[in-house]
Structure 1
Amino acid sequence: MHTFELVLALLAGSVLVVGIFRSLNLPPVLGYLMVGAAVGPHAMNLMPDTGGARALAEFGVVFLMFTIGLEFSLPRLYSMKRIVFGLGAMQVVACMVVVMLAGAVLGLGWGASFALGGTLAMSSTAILSKLLSDRLELDSKHGREAIGVLLFQDLAVVPLLILIPALSRPADQLMTTLALATVKAVVMLSLVLFLGQKLMRRWFFLVARRRSAELFMLNVLFITLGLAWLTEIVGLSMALGAFLAGMLISETEYRYHVEEDIKPFRDVLLGLFFVTVGMFLDVGQIIVSLPAVLAMLAALLLVKFMVAGGASRLMGSPQGTAARTGLWLCAGGEFGFVLLSQIDEARLLPPALSQVVVAALVLSMLLAPLVVQYSEKIVLRLVPSEWMSRSLQLTNIATQSMFVDKHAILCGFGRNGQYLGRLLEQEGITYIALDLDPERVREAAAAGETVVFGDAAKRETLVAAGISRASVVVVTYADTDAALRAMAQIRAVRPDVPVVVRTADEVDLEKLRLAGAAEVVPEAVESSLMLASHALALLGVPLPRILKRIREIRAERYHLLRGIYRGGEHLHEEALEERQQNRLHSVVMAAGAHAIGHSLAELHLGETGVEVSAVRRQRVRMVDPLPETRLELDDVLVLLGTPSQLALAEARLFKGM
């Protein structure tokens, strides 16, 4: 197969498989591994020469380490030093010690055991951070511990990438090689951290002054690849140089801009890296070794659970928190594959064992979301005292709500919840707020606020908060999925209570209303109304007319403002999933259009999923036109729908399809 055809096949396979994995909410890294396994020498053998692909895939690891470096703000590390360098170091070192002891029993060399221990100690930063965010557990005790351990694991990858290649050297040269690598790394770190920060800030300032996005992007690539090349020249890993570049930029004000610019390069090239890893997956060998794969998987999950949970317990965490931390961190991670590729290049592991390890890592990452989903049930079964802790938590909530009636329940006590609580208090209305940030709950409760630690997406929490006596429930979550989970429980316990829900914009308006919200307040719409009211007042429009106009729009439940007209720049700015949101689109009835002379009812545009928001005819705009409205030449239809729905509607308007 020619190179062009091979690249096309890889792209087609990646688009198909990763698309399927995304739709199933599975990690895309597993899709890339499957594509690699399909085209590799053990399956279709479409890529006999993998040298070029491996060289390109190395850039994926470089950009990944660069983005990891961007996350390592020194002040942030210092603020979390106890968790990161205490719990994180304990988890990684303990995992490596356990694997090395097991390797000694099984006759595996200490170098191979050391490298394998580092590989298996890693957990998935991408999967776990997203799950913590989706479940609103980033600020929980176990969430903070998991993030701290993940930060240390990411940091530990840097020395491991230096050490693993050195382990393939003869024993008499090993100590010399490691000592030399350590000296080089210390010198590089010292020069870069002490001299590089000032130079980097000044250099980026000069580049940013040119106000050229192209120049800024070229500069980021130059800095990243330049430092990676420099560290490789002195005999260290390219990944170390990229990590240092990320650390330097993280201390400047350009960090977030750089992170967004580099993300497409990182994701695509890292995907290619995982494709090349997958090429060396021998599915036949894995099937033959299935008992060994399952044994490795069980050992991985059990040992990491016990190590992470035990380390958390030694750091003073309650049994329930320690068990949750262990469950969150027990699966493998994407850095395991990065280290495993280094192990394969150094030929430290037998090929059969390497296949078993890769298969176990893949299966553990598939199981990670499932383990997290059932983590609460597992904790309640493993830790008897957790029932008492849960009972005390519910008792605390019930104590707050015991003597109140016709009160408001606030789900979430962030910025919006706190403002709302103050307004309710000024009106003499009692409220009880539920929040999952223990630090926020502690400080607010100490200040006299009626806020308690509790999850509004749990039935027993709502009952304890007195939902049976509440007059209204307000869901202040910014995340729509979290709001929907809370509303499902609210409706199950008390179907008749009115629920007011906050949302970022009007996109999820109908979804939240169908879930049972009495009113949905889109922040983007309300801020637009306020901006418009101030602008109109400054333009001399009388205040009564402004207030009347705003009341009319609100009375129509934001109907006029659902959807926006999207310019071409949005194609570059928005993520793929965002492009499927509802938007407004104008269609002119040109000569020859099938719809001319037909009524809206006859066209059945509702079957395509779009809504006719307005019809403009000779500078007259008809909002919410009647179904009997017949279209004429040069009429302009304003349609509301997703891009795919709008395409179907246009085909029906012009061709009658």
Structure 2
Amino acid sequence: MPDHLFLLDLLILLALALGSALIFTRLKLSPIIGYLISGIIAGPYGFYLIKNIHEVEVIAEFGVILLLFTIGLEFSISRLLRLKKLLLAGGLSQILLCGALFTGIGTLFGFSMTTSLTLAMALALSSTAIVLKLLSERGEIDTSHGRMSLGILLAQDLAVVFFLVALPLLAGQDLTFSIKEIGKVALLMVGLLIFSRFLLQPFLLAILKTRSQELFRLTILALILVTAWLTSAVGLSLELGAFLAGLALAESPYAHQALSDILPFRDTFLAIFFVSIGMLVNLDLVLANWTIVLSATLAVFAIKFFAAALATALCRFPLRIILLTGFLLFQAGEFSFVFMKAATSLQLIDDQVYQITLAVIALTMILTPLIAGQAERWAAALSGLLGKPRTEIHPEIQEQTGNLTGHVIIAGYGLSGRNIGRILRRFHIPHVYVELNGDSVHKGRQKGDFVIYGDATSGDVLHELGIHRAKALVLSINDPAALARAIPTARHHNPDLYILARTRYVAELEHLCALGANEVVPDEFEASLQLGANLMHRFEFSEGHILHVIANLRKEHYTSMVDAEIPTEGLSVLKGGRLQYQAVPDDSPCLDRSLAEMDLRNQTGVTVVGIIRQNQTIYSPSGSFCLEKGDTLMLLGREDEVAQVCELLHGHPL
């Protein structure tokens, strides 16, 4: 009979979760909020529809274990290396700043240091599920604020593991290990390392050879549970074991398949977990203290916004990206619930503080989709009022670009931007890149490309790059909001400018053209044409017939350049120096002098690898080449050597 009652409880719980998730998804809000509300309704402080609360909590624990496993899968070494700067500089500074501020405020209001630290660790975390879902839906994962948010969220996810390990310390538990216990932990870690490095992949390959999908899923579940049990057996947490299991699989070629197989289980058990959290909320207590809840929610918003914004500023992003990141990461997250529940079981906080904190966490999560929807508009307005866009680029840029005319400005130094630059180099057309990713700027300069750090949506940045003298602007960036801002800004500065934009979806084509773009190339359209062409090759149609059909389809939408695989060429001679651009002043004493007469190589050690004159780039000019007004030199050398050339061109020390 008790088993039947529990099945009825489970049926009620799943029905409420399903209904609330459906309603909140239709409202474009996170279903997590619906799960929490379902728990409040069904719990002992609501209508008391669920009787076997303890059994529900046991099942909910599996959700947390599977969540930690999927996070371990995300922490592949290659992914960490790609985001190492944002993860370390941005993520670590955000966590430390939040921790310090929340701890300080907690002690200021009379909480013990233990309670303050516990609350600080819980509230320092943001919602990975909600933020990444919002970024994915809007196609902003690869934008500057998307990468910054992802770096901070990954750092927080990794910090959760250490926070959960640190909780017993705060509770005053005796964690002094004997030599035997330390040996057990070390033996387990070494065993897991050997297994993951040498035995795991052959074992999974043998499972896959059976061609049984069910067997593979059972193997992955067994791996998670065995690792969690082993870590628990040596005195560590179940969650840490699940995380290590995910980490072991992260670099495996089977990681994606494991993730897709585990996600349905994870999401189901997590729904039960969030419902179980909602069941613990005492709604009467929260309503009786609504002023405290509201004040605490505003305080969390302000502190989290400030911490995320400052962390982004430390990574040298412009003001608009700083504000956008702050608006995205102001909330507490799903791990905050996990952490609070663990802290309660260790009696680190009293029930009233626990109830109020749960309400604050839920409120910040509810507000996230609403505020994120207005974030771009607010960030643009605030950056316009508070920002000083001219400080976003180096003051020497004007010196380098002063004589450029008829050039092309390429916004974005990604794959498509680099390919466009290679095409322009083949036709000897001068061009300059503008990029917000500092690492990409550094790598581009090392390769010999003229890459400027700056925001293409800033009118002042575009002005410094000579937008009013440019012939074309190519927008090869993955940020739809930035595209919509950059096009009218560029058009305002140069009504005759040819603007070519790249976007992901055909649906954005008309909107961007209405804003002022001359041509818009949607990725999905070009990809569909390429897929269709390959398919027709399979049906053995002639190459000419296929090209004719594709050309007609493309002509119906736009006339555009088609990216091709272009071999790398050009300036790969940067060992021992870097490529820099220097405009020749109009009153330079070097005008009408030949390169042989100036003998810059012997005088300064700098090599002139090219000269930009009017609309052409002349590579490897001869010694008889004479400088004229309006020329821009492409110089290869060290910083101090290029500085000497600048003085020679100006005719006086600088």
| Alignment-derived partner of residue 599 in structure 1 | none
Counterparts of 1:148 and 1:550, CA distance in 2: 41
The answer to which of 39-48 and 273-282 deviates more is 39-48
SS of alignment partner, residue 253 of structure 2:
coil
Q: Deviations over 1:368-415 (max 9, x none)?
A: 674865457667888xxx63x734528666666654444433332211
| SS, match of residue 557 in structure 2 | coil
TM value normalised by structure 1 = 0.69
Task: Say whether 1:7 aligns with 2:51.
Answer: no
Shift of 1:158: 1.9
Q: Which moved more, 1:402-411 or 1:128-137?
A: 128-137
User: Contact 2:412/2:433 (CA < 8 Å) preserved in 1?
Assistant: yes
- In 1, Cα distance between the equivalents of 2:178 and 2:305? 31
Residue 322 of structure 1: how far off its partner (Å): 12
Specify whether residues 407 and 358 from structure 1 end up closer, same or farther in structure 2 by C-alpha distance, changes over 3 A only. same
| Partner in structure 2 of residue 196 of structure 1 | 196
Q: How do residues 96-111 of structure 1 correspond to structure 2 at under 5 angstroms?
A: 96=99, 99=102, 103=106, 108-111=111-114
Q: Which residue of 2 aligns with 1:433?
A: 433
Equivalent residue letter for 1:214: E
SS in 2 for 1:174: coil
The residue aligned with 1:270 is 270
Q: Distance in 2 between matches of 1:318 and 1:467?
A: 22
Gaps of 5+ in 1: 560-657
* Cα pair 1:197 1:251 within 8 Å, conserved: no
- Asked if 1:52 is matched to 2:59, the reply is no
Unaligned runs of 5+ in 2: 560-654
* Contact 1:166 1:177 (C-alpha < 8 Å) held by counterparts: no
Secondary structure at the aligned position of 2:393 is classed as helix
1:612 corresponds to which residue? Answer: none
* CA displacement at 1:250 relative to structure 2: 0.7
SS at match of 1:210: coil
Match of 1:16?
23
Cα distance, 1:207–1:5 mapped onto 2, change above 3 Å: same
Question: Is the CA contact 1:70–1:250 (under 8 Å) kept in the aligned structure 2?
Answer: yes
Structure 2 residue aligned with 1:335: 335
Q: Would you say the 8 A contact 1:120–1:336 is kept in 2?
A: yes
> Who is 1:641 aligned against?
none
In 2 relative to 1, CA 481–77 (structure 1 residues): closer, same or farther, beyond 3 Å?
Answer: closer
Is 1:289 aligned with 2:289?
A: yes
Give the 3-state SS of the residue equivalent to 1:42 in structure 2.
coil
| Amino acid corresponding to residue 50 of structure 1 in structure 2 | I
- CA shift for structure 1 position 462: 4.2
Shift of 1:339: 0.3
Contact kept? 1:60, 1:268, Cα under 8 Å: yes
2:549 equivalent to 1:549: yes
Q: Is the 8 A contact 2:21 2:32 kept in 1?
A: no
- Pick from 60, 66, 84 the counterpart of residue 63 of structure 1: 66
Change in Cα spacing, 1:443 to 1:9, as seen in structure 2 (3 Å) is closer
Residue 222 (1) aligns with residue 225 (2): no
Deviations 1:610-657 (A, max 9, x none): xxxxxxxxxxxxxxxxxxxxxxxxxxxxxxxxxxxxxxxxxxxxxxxx
**Paired residues for 1:130-279 under 5 Å:** 147-164=150-167, 174-176=174-176, 186-279=186-279
* Shift, 1:70, TM fit: 1.1
What RMSD, in angstroms, separates the aligned Cα atoms of the two structures? 4.4
| TM-superposed deviation, 1:338 | 0.9
Change over 3 Å in CA distance of 1:401–1:545 after alignment to 2: same
Structure 2 contact 72–246 (Cα < 8 Å) conserved: yes
1:275 is displaced (CA, Å) by: 2.3
Q: Which residue of 2 aligns with 1:123?
A: 126
Q: Does 1:37 align with 2:40?
A: yes
- Structure 1 stretch 184-193 or stretch 249-258: which is displaced more? 184-193
Distance 1:167 1:449, change over 3 A: closer
- Secondary structure of the residue that 1:225 maps to in structure 2? helix
* Structure-to-structure mapping, 1:594-609, within 5 angstroms: none
CA 1:257–1:449 in 2, change beyond 3 Å: closer, same or farther?
A: same
Aligned partner of 1:260: which letter?
Answer: S
Change (3 A) 1:431 1:55: same
The 1:262–1:465 alpha-carbon spacing in structure 2 relative to 1, beyond 3 Å, is farther
Mapped contact 1:394–1:464 kept (Cα < 8 A): no
Is the contact between residue 66 and residue 242 of structure 2 (CA under 8 Å) also seen in structure 1? yes
Could you tell me which residue of structure 1 aligns to residue 357 of structure 2?
A: 357
Describe how 1:434-453 pairs up with structure 2 within 5 A.
434-453=434-453
The question of whether the paired residues in 2 share the 8 Å contact of 1:504 and 1:523 is answered with: yes
Instruction: Give the AA of the match of 2:261.
Output: D
Equivalent pair of 2:17/2:34 in contact (CA under 8 Å):
no
2:103 and 2:117 in contact (8 A); partners too? yes
Further displaced range: 367-376 or 68-77: 367-376
Alignment partners' CA distance in 2, 1:511 and 1:421? 26
Q: CA deviation at 1:244?
A: 0.9
Structure 1 pair 526–264 and aligned structure 2 pair: CA distance change class (3 A): same
Residue 18 of structure 1 contacts residue 32 of structure 1 at CA under 8 Å; is this kept in 2?
Answer: no
User: Is the Cα–Cα contact under 8 Å of residues 456 and 486 in structure 1 kept in the other structure?
Assistant: yes
Comparing 257-266 with 494-503, greater Cα deviation is found at: 494-503
State the 1:249 CA deviation: 0.1
Aligned match of 2:583: none
Q: Deviation of residue 243 (structure 1)?
A: 0.5
Aligned equivalents of 2:308 and 2:253: distance in 1?
35
Q: Confirm or deny that 1:72 pairs with 2:60.
A: no
CA offsets 1:424-481 (integer angstroms, 9 cap, x no match): 2323434343322222223324544343223333444445444455444333235655
Conserved 8 A contact 1:136-1:436: no
Q: For residues 204-603 of structure 1, what are the structure 2 equivalents within 5 Å?
A: 204-303=204-303, 331-366=331-366, 370=371, 373=376, 374=378, 387=388, 390-391=390-391, 393=393, 402-478=402-478, 480=480, 483-487=483-487, 489-490=489-490, 497-504=497-504, 506=506, 509=509, 517-527=517-527, 529=529, 544-557=544-557
Pairwise CA distance, 1:16: 0.8
Identical aligned residues as a percent:
33
Q: CA deviation at 1:418?
A: 1.2
Question: Which amino acid in structure 2 is aligned with residue 33 of structure 1?
Answer: L
Deviations 1:275-299 (A, max 9, x none): 2222223344323213322333344
Distance in 2 separating the partners of 1:536 and 1:89: 52
- The Cα shift of 1:340 comes to 0.8
**Worse-superposed segment, 2-11 or 541-550:** 541-550
Distance 1:466 1:510 in 2: 28
CA drift of 1:17 comes to 1.5
Contact 1:181 1:236 in 2 (8 A): no
The one-letter amino acid of 1:415's match is: L
The structural deviation recorded for 1:66 is: 0.7
Deviation per CA, 1:286-319, whole angstroms, max 9, x where unpaired?
2321332233334434555666778899x89799
Deviations 1:240-295 (A, max 9, x none): 12101100001212223322332333233323322222222334432321332233
2:473 partner SS: strand
Task: Give the AA of the match of 2:240.
Answer: L
Q: Is the 8 A contact 1:487 1:515 kept in 2?
A: yes
Query: Is the 1:163–1:178 contact (alpha carbons within 8 Å) kept by the matching residues of 2?
Result: no
Q: 1:498 Cα shift?
A: 4.7
Residues 508-550 of structure 1, C-alpha deviations (whole Å, 9 max, x = no match): 5556556655444344554555566677679875555444333
